[in-house]
Structure formats: C-alpha cells, structure tokens
Structure 1
C-alpha cells in the first residue's frame, strides 16, 4: 500500500433528505439536509472526529448558514471561511445530489512526495476518474494540465460538466490538505501556529482558544485501514 493521504466521501440521497459523509487522516464528519419543495428545512451535522478543540462550534454555524436556503442556491450562499470548510463542502455536495436516485462514493489518494513528486487520483463509485502528477503545486500530468499551477485550475473546472467539475474540486482540495502529512501536529499544538482566517476554527478570537486534539489523526496507509470502512456498503469490499 502506497503511503499517502486518503479520503472517502459518500453522498446518500433519499426522498426528503440527503446526507454526505467524509473521512480522511484528520476528520470524520457527516451532514444531513432535510428538504421540501427545493428548500432546506433542517440541517444536522456530526463531527465524529475533528482535529481542533473549537471545531464542534461550527455545527451551529452550519445550521445558520443553510437552513431555509434553496438547494439550487447552496453554491452561491458563500460564507465558507466562517464555517468548517469540510462541513460546508459536504453541504454543497449533498445539495447538488439531493435529486439523485443512487449514492455516490469518491475515493481519493494523494501519495507522499518522492523527490518532490506526488500522484493524486480519484475514483467515482470505484471507477477511475482523475489521475494527476504534481511537483509542488505544478502539474506534470496529464498532458492537458502540464505546466499549470494548482491555482490556475478554475478556468479548467469551468469547462467541465457538473460531474467533472465536482471531481476536480474534490481532488484539488484533497491535494492541498494532503500537505498536512509533512508537518508534525502534536496534541496541544495551538491553532495560532497556522495562518488565521481560513475556516471557523482559525477565526481571530477563536483560534487563540483552540488546540490540537489528542488522537485526532489516523494514517490510512496502514494495512487493513480505510476511511469509512465501517459503513455497511464497504464491509464486503
């Protein structure tokens, strides 16, 4: 098994509600949207594993952000950095798939760098979807992205269909989060060791009171370990 960062996202639509759950090295979180006539009537969430002591307060913020919002307007609602960015992303995924008739599962792997080069890949429902080779934040492959910087990906995403754009956004974000594997983050580390303003936890006035939680991190590179492996649909895979 290649050492690297792993993330799994599962989106489950059903009549009147839709849920989205993710797990990776640092997080396990779940969002459920209840909706009627295209409008979200309730937002519930759960942080089953979170890295910082102040993260749980973001669940109330998520309710305030999306309750009463039309599903079609979620992507335009904004306020991402005022929320837990992971709960916010899950909310957008759930809203985008609320009318689907079947679940969607994404699996992501970003390998640890070897000579500065990382391999980032994404599958959708088990089928290969994206495969990138990165040196730092520059694309080496595929050929149509070679030479671009990660920060220049928006114009490419804008040319994709809905499914393609979602996949590229997911893999881009995972590729950035994967850098966390290169930094020691011991329990008790203050949130102020990181730049402020990037999410709910890192807002000024909150980051000063937030610290790294013990036991928050899991290395899914270990044999037999996989994100969301306890979900029923993965028990026999």
Structure 2
C-alpha cells in the first residue's frame, strides 16, 4: 500500500518544546487542539497550565482542573506512575506525560501521526519524529496485519506487546496506537458518535455523571486536504 502521506486521512501532531525551568507540549488533530505547560524546579512540577483550544464536548474544559490536581507537586520522574488517566482528559494526560519525560531535552521534538482512510478495509498508519519514520503498520479491524515489529497485535490490547521495544519505539508505538484508534472516527457518521452516554467510561467526559449531559461541539478539520498542517499558528493556538 502507498504511504499514508499519499492518501487522505487523519493527521495528528505533537510538539514538545523544552526550555529552562519549563516544558510546553501541544497536540492538534482533526478533533482536538490542546497544550500543557509544566513549570518545574528541575525536580518537581511547580505549576501545571493546561489549555483546551479546541475540544469535541461541552464537558471537556472541566478536565483542566483535574489535570492540575493530578500533576501539581509531583516529581517529573514520577509522572508515569500517576494513576487516574480515565478520570482525566486522556489527551491532556498524555501531554503531561510527554512533558515529564522530555523536560530536559536539548531541542524541540515534533511527532507526526498519519493514518490513511481505509482502502479495502485497511488503514496505513505511520509515525514520524522530526521527519524520520519510526514505525509504520497496516491495520484492519483494530488488528495490525502488516508491520516489521508488531504484526498480529491488536490496537485495543497492544500494550503488553510493545513493552520490549526500544524506548524511542515504545513511545512512538503508544502514540501511534492512540492516533490510529482516534482515526476510526473519520469513517463513523457524526450523528452516530455524538451520544456520550453510549461511550465506555474511558475519559473525563465519558464518566457517567458527565456523559449524560455532554453535547458534541467543536470544529472538525481535515488536515490531509493540504490547506494547512496541525499546530500551524492559527486561531486555535
């Protein structure tokens, strides 16, 4: 199959910008545009500043305070051990984890995730870091059917299968897995994905007390049409 870059589909970009005493992480894709600024003293997160520039549900902004409570005062090295991802916005949570891991990097990093719309039931998925392709696979029905590393694995049970990867590949596989799952939304009519009460309780909005009142909002962009790329400076940032 051709590269995902040659086909229409889902696009997601993470940008990690470390600097003295703080690190900024950002993500934008078809449905989301968010950022997390972590200010630290070299050991502990002194201030967490999450922002939702574009979110798909009316209840999503409430997750900002949840993330502040989860990570404020926590040692950067202990970020991965924080529990409660499902009670947080999972996108903000992942941005916080990236901030903790890359706070002392010497340069900015950009991850680009490209997931093609299905062709004969198969999606090509690729992840690049600073322009270098780290992992690619072909997925069908949530199963990876072609991959140099992970053929035969399923997206919904992928975690045990990637723990033995090298650190750079492990991070990339986690980000690509989640991006590939979100990409399935492109093939589901909006009216069929706009009832939060039908969703499993796997994020802040989909907890039962909020799912019952959540309403679908927010612009949906198709970055694969070539008009602009995620995280280009726009009205969202």
Give me the TM-score of the superposition, normalised by structure 2. 0.91
Q: How many residues were matched structurally? A: 229
2:97 aligned residue = 92
Whole-Å separation in 2 of the counterparts to 1:95 and 1:228: 21
Aligned twin of 1:234: none
- Partner deviation per Cα, 1:34-69 (whole Å, 9 max, x = no partner): 111410011001110000001001000100000011
4+ runs of 1 displaced by more than 3 Å?
Answer: 186-190
Secondary structure of 1:12's counterpart equals strand
Q: Which residue of 2 aligns with 1:202?
A: 206
Please, which moves more after superposition, 60-69 or 141-150?
141-150
Output the aligned Cα RMSD.
1.8
- Any unmatched runs of 5+ in structure 2? 1-5
Confirm or deny: 8 A CA contact 1:13 1:97 kept in the other structure.
Answer: yes
How far residue 165 of structure 1 moved from its aligned partner, in angstroms, is 0.8
Quote the offset at 1:186 in angstroms. Answer: 4.8
Query: Structure 2 matches for 1:70-219, cutoff 5 A?
Result: 70-186=75-191, 189-192=194-197, 194-213=198-217, 215-219=218-222
Does 2:72 match 1:67?
A: yes
Q: How far does residue 155 in structure 1 lie from its aligned partner after superposition?
A: 3.2
Matched with 2:226 is: 223
- More off after superposition, 141-150 vs 21-30: 141-150
Q: Aligned runs of 1:37-56 on 2, under 5 Å?
A: 37-56=42-61
Distance in 2 between the 1:140 and 1:189 partners?
Answer: 30
Choose which of 21, 24, 44 in structure 1 pairs with 2:26. Answer: 21
Gaps of 5+ in 1: 232-237
- Structure-1 separation of matches of 2:192 and 2:199: 18
Aligned equivalents of 1:216 and 1:149: distance in 2?
30
In 2, the alpha carbon distance for the partners of 1:145 and 1:186 equals 34
Alpha-carbon contact 2:135-2:169 (below 8 Å) kept: no
- Superposed CA deviations along residues 191-210 of structure 1, whole A, max 9, x for unmatched, are 22x32411101111111111
SS in structure 2 of the partner of residue 221 of structure 1: helix
